[in-house]
């Protein structure tokens, strides 16, 4: 069961790309990585679930906790889940995650203020 949280860039922002199955066993890795990124990227970051194969309620809870902590810290967060990623989209919809987690279906929906700032320097 391959699982990996990798650092990347989405829409000009620091991002965590989650590969494999996000469940009880692997969710803590995402939680740790997100906590670190929240410190180092106060201008905002993205959790990219495009290549995620599976999401269970533990993974969903972890996303909610990350969203709650980001909100409390004033760090803008986007969770990217393309509509085509059915195995992940379904639990998100069933658990009504959208009310608690800032979801986007495409990178273009993320405000690219950071990218503009980079372009200006």
Partner 1 sequence: MTAPRVDEDALLRCADEPIAIPGAVQPHGVLLAATEPDLAVVVSSANAGAVLGRSGGTLDDYLTADDAARLREALAGDLAEVNPLRVTVAGAEVDLVLHRVDGLLITEWELVAGAEQAGAAWHRRLPTVLQRLSASATLEELSEVLARDVRTLTGFDRVMIYRFDDAWNGEVIAEDRREDLEPFLGLHYPASDIPAQARALYTSNWMRIIPDAGYQRVPLDPPINPLTGRPLELSGSILRSVSPVHLEYLANMGVVSSMSVSLIDRGKLWGLISCHHYAGPHRPSYPDRQAAEFLGRTASLLLPTLAASGETDGLVEVARRTAELTAAVGRTPRALATALTEEDVTVLDLLPAGGAAVRLDGQLRLLGTTPPAERVLPLVRALLDAGIDATDAASTLVPDAADLAESASGVLVVPVGGEDFLAWFRPETLREVTWGGNPYQSKTAQTDDGPRLSPRRSFDAWSETVRETSRPWHEHEVAAARTLAGHLAAATLNRASEDNRLAGALQRTLLLEELPKVPGVALAARYRASADDVVGGDWYDLVPLPSGRLSIVLGDVAGHGLAAAAVTAQLRHALRAHLLRAAGPAAALDGLNEVIGALLPGEMATVVVAELDPDSGEVVLASAGHLPVLHAGSVGAEYVMDGRGPALGILDAPSYTETRLTLAGDDRLLLFSDGLVERAAAGLAAGLDALREAVGTGPTAPEQLLDAVLGALNPPSTDDVTLLGIART
Binding mask 4-43 for partner 1 (x = CB under 8 A): --------------------x-------------------
- Give the β-pairing of 52-55 and 45-48: unpaired
> Of 16 and 67, which has the nearer Cβ to partner 1?
67
| Count of residues that interact with partner 1, criterion CB under 8 A | 20
User: Taking the alpha carbons of 99, 102, 83, 81 in that order, is the dihedral positive or negative?
Assistant: negative
- What is the C-alpha to C-alpha distance for residues 64 and 99, in angstroms, rounded to an integer? 10
Please select the residue that binds partner 1; options are 14, 19, 51, 54, rule is CB under 8 A: 54
Site for partner 1 in 60-119 (CB under 8 A): 61, 64-65, 67-68, 86-87, 90-91, 94-97, 99-100
Q: Which residues are at the interface with partner 1 (CB under 8 A)?
A: 24, 54, 56-58, 61, 64-65, 67-68, 86-87, 90-91, 94-97, 99-100
């Amino acid at each position: 069961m391959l699982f990996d949280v990798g650092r990347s860039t989405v829409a000009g922002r620091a991002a965590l790309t989650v590969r494999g199955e996000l469940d009880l066993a692997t969710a803590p890795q995402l939680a740790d990585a997100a906590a670190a990124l929240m410190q180092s990227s106060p201008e905002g970051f993205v959790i990219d679930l495009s290549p995620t194969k599976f999401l269970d309620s533990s993974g969903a809870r972890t996303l909610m906790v990350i969203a709650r902590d980001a909100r409390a810290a004033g760090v803008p967060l986007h969770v990217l889940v393309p509509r085509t990623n059915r195995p992940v989209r379904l639990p998100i919809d069933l658990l009504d995650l959208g009310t608690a987690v800032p979801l986007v279906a495409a990178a273009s929906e993320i405000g690219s203020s950071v990218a503009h700032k980079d372009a200006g320097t």
